[in-house]
Amino acid sequence: MEEKIKISMLIQTYGKLLTEKQYQILNDYYNNDLSLSEIAENFNITRQAVRDIIKKGEKKLFEYEEKLLFMKRTLETNKKIEKALNELTKIQKDYSDKQIANVLEHIKKELNCLV
């Protein structure tokens, strides 16, 4: 997984555990695609200060994930759900019984809500 995407997901998962300023700066940098200069101007601080805050925030996010593993578990669960959906689709295509098709469709809808 690309590093920027991973950090963006970590911000969504653990961002509220950071200080408000760290969260806003990391969110602006990773999710709103603002440059260091733009963020520095918005917060009336130096580019170096922005970079330091980003590095410290990233470190905190990785520490949270290392200890809590929420993102890892979420990704693993999503993979399992996708695999189950693929299997259900195969069964649905192979069998024509109307009742089975209805049950499988209901299960697929429920699983799709989880992804």
Per-residue pLDDT tens digits for 27-60: 999 999 999 999 999 999 999 999 999 999 999 9
Res 8: pLDDT: 96
Look at residue 1 in the predicted model and tell me its pLDDT: 67
* Domain ranges across the chain: 3-68, 74-114
Question: Structurally, what CATH architecture does the domain formed by 3-68 represent?
Answer: Orthogonal Bundle (1.10)
pLDDT digits (tens, 9 = 90+) for 57-73: 999 999 999 999 999 99
Mean pLDDT of the chain: 91
Query: How far lies 43's CA from each of 26, 28, 57, 74, 81, in Å?
Result: 12, 11, 16, 33, 42
When pLDDT is cut at 50, 70 and 90, the band that residue 97 belongs to is confident
